[in-house]
């Protein structure tokens, strides 16, 4: 069983990689984002945080409107 939110999400992202994780507005329509695609975005964001020198135990603040990128940032931070 997963020990953290980040590891739980990574596990679910692999198991359900083709399933829709969320839908986001793209102009006048909605676009599906799969768990696999979301996991990739989270890993890329997390790699960016690491390259900026963020380490485990550091505090990170997210200030954002309600949007799917907030979820990507949050999952990357807890991962």
Helices (H) and strands (E) in the chain, counts: 3, 2
Q: Which residues of the chain have pLDDT under 70?
A: 1-2
Q: Return d(Cα 68, Cα 66) in angstroms, integer.
A: 7
**pLDDT in the model for residue 6:** 86
**pLDDT in the model for residue 4:** 87
**pLDDT in the model for residue 52:** 96
**pLDDT in the model for residue 21:** 95
Q: Return d(Cα 3, Cα 66) in angstroms, integer.
A: 27
Rounded to whole angstroms, the maximal C-alpha distance in the chain is 41
CB 11 within 8 A of CB 38: no
**pLDDT in the model for residue 2:** 59
Evaluate if pTM is beyond 0.75: yes
């Amino acid at each position: 069983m997963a020990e953290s939110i980040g590891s739980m999400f990574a596990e679910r992202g692999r198991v359900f990689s083709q399933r829709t994780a969320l839908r986001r507005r793209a102009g006048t329509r909605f676009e599906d984002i799969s768990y696999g695609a979301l996991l990739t975005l989270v890993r890329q964001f997390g790699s960016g945080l690491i390259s900026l020198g963020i380490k485990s135990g550091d505090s990170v603040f997210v200030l954002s409107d309600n949007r799917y990128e907030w979820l990507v940032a949050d999952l990357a931070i807890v991962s």
